[in-house]
Amino acid sequence: MMTNPTLWNYDLDDACYRVRLMASLSGVTLDLRSVDAFPGNEHLGDEMLALNPLGRLPVLEHGALTLCQTEAILLHLARIGPRGAAFVPSDDAGAARMRDWLFFGARDLAAPSQARAVAMLGAAGDAGALNHAARHGLRLLEDHMTAQGFRGQGFVAGARATVADIALFPAFALCRDFNLDHDAFPALRLWARRVRQLDGFITMPGIPDYH
Amino acid sequence: MPQTLNDTAGWAPLALASDIMTATSAGTVWNGDEIVIWRDSAGRVHAWEDRCPHRGMKLSFGFVRGDRIACLYHGWEYDSAAACRYIPAHPELDVPATIRVARYKAVEALGMIWVAPLDQPGPAPVDQTQVNALRSLQVDAPLARLTQVFVTHGLPGLGLVRDVVADGAVIRLTQGAVRLVAGLHPVDDATSMLHIAVEGACTQQALAALVPATAALRRLAETGVAGAA
C-alpha cells in the first residue's frame, strides 16, 4: 500500500469533505478523481456503479481495497496516516466511545446530510421531514456537548478529537445550507471552533476559512 | 436599595456570557429581530443588527479581528462603534461615515449578556453576582408557555419547586439544594429560550448531571405544542 489512496470525489458532497478533512488531519495525500455528481449524476453511471453499486460517494480505492462506507474510510485513513493515530483513542473506553459516536453519526445523524442534498444538490426527499430530523439529531449532540463541557471534555468522545468528531463535524458546520441556524446550538458552536483549530484543518464551500 | 431587574424593563437576556468567547460572534433573534452578539479581542461585548449594510449578509456569519467584526461576503470591517472602517475591494478609500450598522446597548450581568434598544431610557442590569452557567435552551413553544412550565416543574425530576421569584426578565426558583436563575428570551411567536444558570456553589459534575433534566424541560414544554420538534 505504498501508493496514495484514490478518492472518487465531489467537492460539494459533505461526506467527501469528511474524507478530505480526515486525510489532511492524518497526513495522508489523496489522489482526487472528480465525479460530476450534480448535475451530472456520474455517481449513478455504469463506471461508478461498477465501483460502488450503492451509487454513492465517497469511494476510496487503496491498493486492493475499495471502501464505500464513509466511516470505514475515515478509520482507514486514521490508521495509515502518519498523524492518524492521534484520532483513535488507545484506551478501550475511549475507543468504544469513538465508535458509539461514529455510529450515531452514520445512523442517527444522517438527516443533516440528506436535508442539505435536497436543499442544494437536487436530491429527492421530504425537505420538511428531513429538516425536522436533522434538528432533532443536532439537539441530541448539543445536549451531549453541553455535558461534555462540564466534564472538561472538548470533543465528543473525550478531551481530544477523534475520528468521530470529523465524521460529525459537517452535520453542524453545514446546517445553514438547509436553513437551520446555529443560534440554538451554543455548545456545538464552541465544539466546531475547536475542530477548526486542529492542525491540518481544511475547509469546503459553506465552511469559510477565517480563523 | 439594591436594583431589582424590574427596574430594567426593556433589557433582555440574549445569551449566557460564557457562551460568547473572546473574538467570536453569534447570531440570535429577539422578538423577531435578528441580532449579532460579538466580543472583541479585548473581551468587550457588542450587540448589533445582524445585517451588513453592503449586501445584507448576516454579520454573525463573519469573523472578529481585533476590535472589529468583518463580513463574510466581502470583508467590510466595522469598528466597535459600528462604523465601517475598511473595504477590501477599495483599500485606499476613506470610508464614508454614513456606512454604519444599527446598534443595541449591551451589558453583562448575572452571567448573561443583556441587550436593549439604543433609545431605551431605563437603567441597565448591574448585578455582578457570580453564577454557574448551565445552558441556553431553545424550545419550540412561545415564551409564556415555556415560562409557565418552568415555574411549575423547574427542571423536571429535581423535586418540588419552591421560592419562585419573577424579577423582570429573570425567574429564580429552588429545587432541593439547587437554586436556578433563568433569563427569559422570546425568539418569535413560536420559539423561546431560557438562559439557565445555577446560583451558589455547584460542582462541574453536578452541572453535567443537570443537563438531562434541561432536555426533559424542553420535551415537557413542547408537549402538545403544534409544530414542535
CA–CA min distance A39, chain B (Å):
25
Whether residue B79 is contained in a domain is answered as yes
| pLDDT for residue A178 | 96
Q: Are residues B85 and B187 in the same domain?
A: no
CA–CA min distance A52, chain B (Å):
35
Is pLDDT above 70 for A188? yes
Residue A189 with chain B: CB contacts under 8 Å:
19, 24, 26
A83 pLDDT band, cuts 50/70/90, is very high
**Residues B149, B220: contact at Cβ < 8 Å?**
yes
Q: Is B72 within 8 Å of chain A by CB?
A: yes
Q: Which domain holds residue B94?
A: 5-117
Q: Is A193 in Cβ contact with B208 (below 8 Å)? A: no
Q: Are residues A35 and A48 in the same domain?
A: yes
**Residues B14, B47: contact at Cβ < 8 Å?**
yes
Q: Is A11 helix (H, G, I), strand (E, B) or coil?
A: coil
Predicted ipTM > 0.90: yes
| pLDDT for residue B1 | 52
Q: Is B19 within 8 Å of chain A by CB?
A: yes
What is d(CA A56, CA A44) in angstroms, rounded to the nearest whole number? 8
| pLDDT for residue B7 | 74
Q: Are residues A138 and A184 in the same domain?
A: yes
What lies within 8 Å, CB to CB, of A81 at 6+ separation is: A23, A25, A26, A27, A28
Q: Is B211 in Cβ contact with A143 (below 8 Å)? A: yes
Q: Is A182 in Cβ contact with B208 (below 8 Å)? A: no
Whether residue A203 is contained in a domain is answered as no
Q: Are residues B113 and B135 in the same domain?
A: no
Q: Are residues B112 and B141 in the same domain?
A: no
Q: Are residues B97 and B188 in the same domain?
A: no
Quick: pLDDT tens for A22-44.
Answer: 999 999 999 999 999 999 999 99
A–B: how many Cβ contacts below 8 A? Answer: 57
Whether residue B158 is contained in a domain is answered as yes
Whether residue B203 is contained in a domain is answered as yes
Q: Are residues A132 and A81 in the same domain?
A: no
Number of domains chain B contains: 2
Quick: pLDDT tens for B167-223.
Answer: 999 999 999 999 999 999 999 999 999 999 999 999 999 999 999 999 999 999 999
Q: Are residues B174 and B141 in the same domain?
A: yes
Whether residue A55 is contained in a domain is answered as yes
| pLDDT for residue B225 | 73
Q: Which domain holds residue A71?
A: 6-85
Question: Which of A101-105, A125-129, B96-100 is predicted least confidently?
Answer: B96-100
Q: Are residues A77 and A132 in the same domain?
A: no
Is pLDDT above 90 for A1? no
CA–CA min distance A179, chain B (Å):
13
> Which residue among B27, B211, B214 sits closest to A183, beta carbon to beta carbon?
B27
Whether residue B124 is contained in a domain is answered as no
